Amino acid sequence: MKQVAVVGLSPSTHDDAPYEDPEWETWGLPWDNGRYPYFDRLFDIHPLECIKEAIPSFYQPDYLDRLKSLDVPLYMQESYSEIPNAIKYPLDKVSSLVGDYYNSSIAYMLGLAIYEGYDKIALWGVDLIGQGGWGHADEYMDERPNVEYLLGFARGRGIDVWTPEVCPLLKFGGRFPLGKVIPHYGQRYGFLKEPNDFSYITPPPSDWKGHSKPPEYRKWQ
């Protein structure tokens, strides 16, 4: 069975990936400073001119030398002559299957794994919650829908998709008030954890208008 581990940088499960398990192929990021030598394939789709300018504000000072010395396939926008193991990412071929929708390096990994027909895709170190670190802005809010789209696409093609228990991807986690009522949903929207398991929104004191207790609920922002 062809199975690939797609590895991101989230510390929650990053160290749990099967780096040296011969039953897995592992794909990751060349700026993963602790683990990049263990990957079978690496991905940096940023334009080379931007990579050079992002040293050292984002990448390590020796990052370009690292790319030049790699002995595994490195997928980039082009097969750059100054980086011997750089391979041009087959964007047109992959996009013809999964669609031209990529919001992260992880997305390019998933697209290629789907295109190459892997039987199982598993993720480690990919949570995409909260804010990214310095130099990342708030990109996780854009990356997560894209990654979940591709994971759903993979499942639709019969590929076994696995995420760690602590990974929030492909799991319900919302809080959706109904007016003043807050339903306490379980693992899916619309279904309470227990019968009558809900609470109420209380207007903030600034909206009480002199009352010692909250007035009857009314819509407030």
Q: Where a domain ends, among 162, 180, 198?
A: 162
In a domain, 167, yes or no: no
In a domain, 11, yes or no: yes
Within this chain, do residues 24 and 132 fall inside the same structural domain, yes or no? yes
| Predicted pLDDT of residue 219 | 40
pLDDT in tens, 108-163: 999 999 999 999 999 999 988 765 555 555 567 788 899 999 999 999 999 999 99
| Predicted pLDDT of residue 44 | 98
| Predicted pLDDT of residue 196 | 85
Q: Are 170 and 163 in contact (CB under 8 A)?
A: yes
Within this chain, do residues 134 and 180 fall inside the same structural domain, yes or no? no
CATH number for the domain harbouring residue 154: 3.90.1480.10
Within this chain, do residues 53 and 128 fall inside the same structural domain, yes or no? yes
Quote the DSSP letter at residue 187.
S
Within this chain, do residues 157 and 178 fall inside the same structural domain, yes or no? no
pTM of the model: 0.84
Helices (H) and strands (E) in the chain, counts: 5, 9
| Predicted pLDDT of residue 180 | 75
Within this chain, do residues 35 and 118 fall inside the same structural domain, yes or no? yes
Comparing CA positions, the residue from 15, 69, 80, 19 lying closest to residue 46 is: 80
pLDDT in tens, 92-102: 999 999 999 99
| Predicted pLDDT of residue 19 | 96
Q: In which domain, by residue range, is 65 found?
A: 3-162
The number of folded domains in the chain is 2
Within this chain, do residues 217 and 119 fall inside the same structural domain, yes or no? no
Token pair of 59, please? 């990448």
Token pair of 40, please? 């079978």
Within this chain, do residues 76 and 44 fall inside the same structural domain, yes or no? yes
